[in-house]
């Protein structure tokens, strides 16, 4: 009785396996090229350092995934034990910096998006003699809080550059889509766009809920047919804006800040005009690599000023090369 | 107390005891916080074994601070839940309080203490508004405070943008009253090389106060009665509506207090913060033994729940794990704690019979 049941179960399992094999599809994870590890970098000098990276990441964002990929590749290349942590709210992030100090890390890489709140904690680390590097945000304030170097872009400069590109394209009216209300860096980008292209209006959407982003942008396009260009502040939102444009039957063109695989492909297909890339992979990589250089060799980069990783434009002229990198989670 | 004193033998209890003495174990097991104590000890041992930095005293001070950041408001939320109600607006209320104090003082160039007290009045009014609507309309507090959660979130963003032109308040560190207010709400001092943040002391004080109210005062009995069975409580003359409104105002007071800490610890306030924290306060209270149905729970339990939260948030980082998993652990811990609480409670009830 029981053997018969077992046999039957085995037969069902085998049938399922065959069925699954027969249903194999084009594409998918099985066809992806292995990304491989980080750039080849000999681990010079054997000592292992511990470096803490504390960011204001909102979990689950492709942008931050690239920062982490860069940081992890640099850590692998230099035999660094990387401790990554993130707190989206300033008090949380400040506590996590304190946590890094308690752990007696050898170096600290920190994002200073909420500079007044997290800065003092970073300064406390610097006062303890821990080398601190700021990245991604805090370009104007990092020195005040004892950070030795800064790797990142300037939101306002990037916004102005994007605004100029839109003006060159003959924009009449631009909406700047802000996916998180109350976020200083995002506001700075839109203010930058408005500075070089005054007829810009901010549109606030609920970034954690893409369907609502789609309907909000769609409603705005229907309500105001004079909109010629949409600039999104993150790749997922640009892709959603493309859907909204289709929904509303609008002719508006879409551009974006930051990049991911799908956005790169959309630029290749000519559906997105351009992306303003601040090269997050480089930010993460350099934050860790520069700390390692400082710890092992006493170096500092930037000549006493910030090292800018952007704005770097990705458009039809250079996207061919970049798509491949984006697929490896590096652009 | 070192000098030996001839003590009289205790008076022998009358042989015909009025009621059988309950064994100590049963008494302990019927306490709401016992499950969370067990969980806290287990988690502490777990992270101590796993993460070397977790074992240091500075790490404990950081863990305590992280715990107090949830624990202070969780005290108010626990009392409210024992009273049978629910507040989803506690997370954004904290930021409302901080924004109010900051903007009133900055825009009108007043001493910061004026802003602090105006903010207290505003916050108590918010708490009254929640409580009054709940008792007058009979709509579940879940829905009323869901509404106020969204309204306050919108007010935080809209008013801040309107008043300051940006999405954060200006730095108030150079204004009159900052130093004294910081000393009260956000100072820190070193004891034997360990930094103690003042919020930890306030947290302990509020927990002690709430515990005294619950266990030693008439008001405490009223809170349990109102949460256990509001109709019966009303029938025996408990002012149910006043108690409930008072509990909502208690939560608002705690939110105001923690909002002041945010303001004076960080000088500026971002208007978009606080969303989602209401669930952390509720988790702390529930892990600490508060029931969603009301009438059962303790302030000490909520403190232990907050301590578990602080250990977990920081412990995961001390251990060097991927923080993406943090929410998963939080949810799993909540489920385990609730099941453990239920199991212990049933076990204790069955033992007594």
Contact A95/B66, CB-based, under 8 Å?
A: yes
Residue A181 has its nearest CB partner, among B62, B272, B314, at B272
The residues with which A86 forms a beta bridge, in sequence order, are A55
Compute the radius of gyration of chain A from its Cα atoms.
23
Contact A98/B69, CB-based, under 8 Å?
A: no
Interface test with A, best of B57, B102, B193, B270 (most A CBs within 10 A): B270
DSSP E strand boundaries for A113-265: 132-135, 149-152, 174-178, 200-204, 229-232, 253-257
Helix, strand and coil in chain B, % to nearest 5:
70, 5, 25
Chain B residue nearest residue A119, CA to CA: B266
Least confident of A154-163, A207-216, A264-273, B194-203: A207-216
Contact A90/B266, CB-based, under 8 Å?
A: yes
A196 interfaces chain B, CB cutoff of 8 Å: no
pLDDT score of B345 more than 80: no
Per the CB < 8 A criterion, the answer to whether B82 and B296 are in contact is yes
**Residues belonging to chain A:** 331
A81 interfaces chain B, CB cutoff of 8 Å: yes
Q: Chain A partners of B314 at a C-beta cutoff of 8 Å?
A: 95-96, 99
Q: Three-class SS of residue B243?
A: helix
Check residues B170 and B324 and name the one with the higher pLDDT: B170
List the structure tokens of A315: 């458009």
Residue-wise pLDDT tens digits, A229-264: 999 999 889 999 999 999 888 999 999 999 888 899
**How many angstroms away from the CA of A22 is the closest CA of chain B?**
35
Q: Three-class SS of residue A80?
A: strand
**Rounded CA separation B53/A101 (Å):** 10
- The mean per-residue pLDDT over the stretch A312-331 comes to 90
List the structure tokens of A50: 């511990």
A83 interfaces chain B, CB cutoff of 8 Å: yes
Per-residue pLDDT, A273: 95
Q: Chain B partners of A59 at a C-beta cutoff of 8 Å?
A: 323-324, 327
Contact A182/B69, CB-based, under 8 Å?
A: no
Residue A95 has its nearest CB partner, among B62, B166, B171, at B62
Contact B168/A89, CB-based, under 8 Å?
A: no
pLDDT score of B5 more than 80: no
Backbone angles phi, psi at B157, to 5 degrees: -70, -50
Environment class of B10 (CB within 10 Å of its CB; exposed 0-12, middle 13-18, buried 19+): exposed
Residue-wise pLDDT tens digits, B194-237: 889 999 999 999 999 999 999 999 999 999 999 999 999 999 99
Check residues B268 and A26 and name the one with the higher pLDDT: B268
Contact A91/B317, CB-based, under 8 Å?
A: no
Least confident of B124-138, B194-208, B231-245, B333-347: B333-347
List the structure tokens of A181: 């209300």
Per-residue pLDDT, B301: 93
Which distant-in-sequence residues (6+ apart) come within 8 Å of A124 by Cβ? A97, A98, A101
Check residues A129 and B336 and name the one with the higher pLDDT: A129
Contact B268/A116, CB-based, under 8 Å?
A: yes
pLDDT score of B18 more than 80: no
Residue A187 has its nearest CB partner, among B53, B166, B265, at B166
- The mean per-residue pLDDT over the stretch A77-84 comes to 94
pLDDT score of A39 more than 50: no
Q: What percent of chain A has pLDDT over 70?
A: 87
Per-residue pLDDT, B340: 78
DSSP B245-301: HHHHHHHHHHHHHHHHHHHHHHSS-BTTTTTTHHHHHHHHHHHTT--TTSS---HHH
A105-119, A132-146, B116-130: range with highest mean pLDDT = B116-130
**How many angstroms away from the CA of B140 is the closest CA of chain A?**
27
pLDDT score of A1 more than 60: no
Per the CB < 8 A criterion, the answer to whether A117 and A94 are in contact is yes
Burial B229-242 (b: 16+ CB within 10 A, else e): ebeebeeeebebbe
Contact A101/B59, CB-based, under 8 Å?
A: no
* Residue B13 pLDDT level (bands cut at 50, 70, 90): very low
* Residue B182 pLDDT level (bands cut at 50, 70, 90): very high
Q: What angle do CA A203, A209, A215 make, to 5 degrees?
A: 55
**Rounded CA separation B227/B241 (Å):** 12
Compute the radius of gyration of chain B from its Cα atoms.
22
Pairing of strands A307-308, A149-152: parallel
Count of CB atoms within 10 A of residue B327's CB? 10
Chain A residue nearest residue B64, CA to CA: A95
**Rounded CA separation B348/A183 (Å):** 50
List the structure tokens of B314: 């920081």
Which residues 98-157 on chain A approach chain B with CB closer than 8 angstroms?
98-104, 114, 116-117
- The mean per-residue pLDDT over the stretch A302-328 comes to 91
Per-residue pLDDT, B67: 94
Per the CB < 8 A criterion, the answer to whether B260 and B181 are in contact is yes
* Residue B21 pLDDT level (bands cut at 50, 70, 90): low
pLDDT score of B8 more than 60: no
Residue A102 has its nearest CB partner, among B56, B69, B267, at B56
Per-residue pLDDT, B1: 42
List the structure tokens of B20: 């059988």
Backbone angles phi, psi at B92, to 5 degrees: -75, -25
List the structure tokens of B179: 């130093």
- The mean per-residue pLDDT over the stretch A112-127 comes to 92
Answer whether the bond into residue A311 is a cis peptide, omega within 30°: yes
Query: Measured on CA atoms in the order B280, B284, B286, B292, is the torsion positive or negative?
Result: negative
Pairing of strands A80-86, A107-110: unpaired
Q: Chain A partners of B168 at a C-beta cutoff of 8 Å?
A: 182, 184
* Residue B293 pLDDT level (bands cut at 50, 70, 90): confident
**How many angstroms away from the CA of A46 is the closest CA of chain B?**
21
Per the CB < 8 A criterion, the answer to whether A94 and B199 are in contact is no
Q: Chain A partners of B323 at a C-beta cutoff of 8 Å?
A: 59, 84-86
According to DSSP, residue B324 is labeled G
**How many angstroms away from the CA of A187 is the closest CA of chain B?**
8
- The mean per-residue pLDDT over the stretch B268-296 comes to 89
pLDDT score of A268 more than 50: yes
pLDDT score of A116 more than 90: no
**Rounded CA separation A245/A214 (Å):** 9
* Residue A12 pLDDT level (bands cut at 50, 70, 90): low
**Rounded CA separation A319/A267 (Å):** 7
Contact B270/A184, CB-based, under 8 Å?
A: yes
Query: Measured on CA atoms in the order A36, A39, A44, A45, is the torsion positive or negative?
Result: negative
List the structure tokens of B246: 């008072």
The residues with which A150 forms a beta bridge, in sequence order, are A134
The structure tokens 């609920």 sit at A206
pLDDT score of B19 more than 60: no
Per the CB < 8 A criterion, the answer to whether B78 and B288 are in contact is yes
Contact A102/B320, CB-based, under 8 Å?
A: no
Burial B281-295 (b: 16+ CB within 10 A, else e): bbbbbbbbbbbeebb
Question: Which uninterrupted H or E stretch holds B108?
Answer: helix B90-108
Residue B317 has its nearest CB partner, among A60, A96, A184, at A96
According to DSSP, residue A181 is labeled T
Per the CB < 8 A criterion, the answer to whether B271 and B165 are in contact is no
DSSP A138-171: -TTTGGGGT-SEEEE--HHHHHHHHHHHHHHTT-
Residue A114 has its nearest CB partner, among B69, B166, B270, at B270
**Rounded CA separation B102/B112 (Å):** 8
* Residue A32 pLDDT level (bands cut at 50, 70, 90): low
Contact B320/A86, CB-based, under 8 Å?
A: no
Contact B270/A83, CB-based, under 8 Å?
A: no
Pairing of strands A229-232, A272-277: unpaired
- The mean per-residue pLDDT over the stretch A296-307 comes to 92
According to DSSP, residue B168 is labeled B
pLDDT score of A9 more than 80: no
Q: What is the pTM of this model?
A: 0.82
Mean pLDDT (chain B) is: 88
Per-residue pLDDT, B16: 46
Interface test with A, best of B320, B321, B329, B330 (most A CBs within 10 A): B320
The residues with which A110 forms a beta bridge, in sequence order, are A54, A134
Per-residue pLDDT, B353: 53
Least confident of A32-41, A68-77, A273-282, A288-297: A32-41
**How many angstroms away from the CA of A201 is the closest CA of chain B?**
15
Contact A101/B58, CB-based, under 8 Å?
A: yes
Per-residue pLDDT, B352: 58
Residue B65 has its nearest CB partner, among A59, A95, A182, at A95
Q: Chain A partners of B313 at a C-beta cutoff of 8 Å?
A: 92, 95
Q: Chain B partners of A60 at a C-beta cutoff of 8 Å?
A: 324
């Amino acid at each position: 009785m029981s053997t018969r049941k077992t046999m039957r179960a085995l037969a069902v399992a085998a049938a399922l396996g065959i069925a699954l094999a027969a249903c194999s599809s084009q594409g998918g994870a099985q066809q992806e090229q292995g990304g491989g590890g980080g750039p080849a970098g000999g681990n010079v000098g054997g000592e292992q350092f511990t470096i803490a990276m504390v960011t204001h990441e909102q979990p689950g964002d492709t942008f931050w995934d690239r920062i982490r990929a860069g940081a992890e590749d640099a850590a692998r290349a230099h035999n660094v034990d990387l401790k990554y942590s993130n707190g989206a709210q300033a008090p949380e992030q400040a506590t996590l910096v304190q946590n890094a100090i308690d752990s007696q890390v050898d170096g600290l890489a920190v994002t200073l998006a909420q500079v007044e709140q997290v800065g003092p904690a970073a300064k406390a680390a610097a006062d303890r003699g821990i080398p601190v590097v700021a990245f991604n945000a805090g370009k104007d304030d990092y020195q005040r809080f004892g950070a030795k170097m800064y790797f990142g872009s300037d939101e306002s400069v990037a916004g102005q550059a994007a605004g100029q590109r839109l003006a060159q394209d003959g924009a009449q009216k631009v909406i700047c889509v802000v996916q998180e209300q109350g976020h200083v860096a995002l506001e700075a980008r839109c203010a930058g766009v408005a500075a070089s292209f005054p007829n810009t209006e901010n549109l606030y959407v609920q970034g954690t809920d893409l369907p609502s982003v789609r309907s909000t942008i769609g409603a705005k396009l229907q309500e105001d047919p004079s909109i010629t260009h949409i600039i999104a502040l993150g790749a997922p939102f640009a892709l959603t804006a493309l859907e909204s444009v289709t929904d509303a039957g609008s002719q508006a063109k879409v551009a974006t800040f930051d990049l991911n695989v799908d956005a790169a492909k959309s630029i290749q297909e000519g559906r997105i005009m351009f992306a303003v890339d601040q090269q997050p992979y480089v930010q993460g990589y350099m934050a860790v690599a520069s700390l390692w250089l400082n710890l092992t060799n006493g170096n500092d980069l930037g000549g006493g000023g910030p090292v800018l990783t952007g704005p770097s434009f990705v458009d039809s002229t250079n996207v061919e090369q970049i798509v491949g990198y984006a697929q490896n989670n590096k652009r | 107390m070192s000098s030996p004193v001839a003590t009289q033998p205790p008076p022998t209890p009358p042989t015909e005891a009025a009621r059988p003495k309950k064994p100590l174990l049963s008494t302990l097991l019927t306490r709401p916080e016992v499950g969370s104590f067990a969980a806290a000890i287990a988690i502490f041992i777990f992270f101590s074994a796993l993460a070397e930095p977790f074992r240091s005293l500075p790490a404990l001070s950081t863990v305590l601070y992280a715990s107090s950041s949830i624990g202070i408001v969780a005290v108010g939320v626990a009392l409210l839940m024992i009273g049978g109600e629910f507040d989803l607006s506690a997370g954004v209320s904290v930021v409302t309080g901080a924004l109010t104090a900051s903007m009133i003082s900055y825009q009108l160039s007043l001493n910061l203490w004026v802003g602090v007290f105006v903010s207290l009045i505003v916050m108590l009014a918010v708490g009254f508004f929640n409580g009054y609507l709940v008792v007058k309309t009979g709509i579940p507090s879940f829905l009323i405070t869901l509404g106020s959660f969204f309204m306050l979130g919108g007010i935080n963003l809209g008013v801040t943008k309107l008043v300051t032109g940006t999405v954060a308040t200006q730095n108030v560190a150079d204004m009159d009253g900052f130093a004294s207010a910081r000393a009260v709400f956000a100072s820190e001092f070193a004891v034997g090389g360990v930094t103690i943040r003042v919020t930890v002391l306030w947290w302990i004080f509020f927990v002690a106060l709430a515990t005294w109210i619950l266990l030693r005062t008439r008001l405490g009995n009223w809170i349990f009665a109102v949460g256990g069975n509001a109709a019966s409580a009303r029938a025996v003359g408990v002012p149910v509506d006043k108690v409930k409104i008072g509990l909502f105002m208690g939560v608002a007071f705690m939110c105001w207090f923690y909002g002041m800490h945010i303001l004076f610890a960080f000088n500026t306030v971002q208007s978009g913060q606080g969303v989602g924290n209401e669930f952390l306060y509720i988790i702390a209270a529930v892990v600490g033994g508060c029931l969603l149905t009301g009438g059962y729970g303790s302030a000490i339990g909520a403190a232990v729940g907050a301590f578990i939260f602080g250990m977990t948030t920081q412990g995961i980082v001390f251990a060097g794990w991927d923080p993406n998993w943090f929410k998963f652990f939080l949810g799993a811990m909540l489920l385990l704690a609730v099941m453990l609480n239920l199991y212990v409670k049933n076990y204790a009830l069955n033992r007594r019979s």
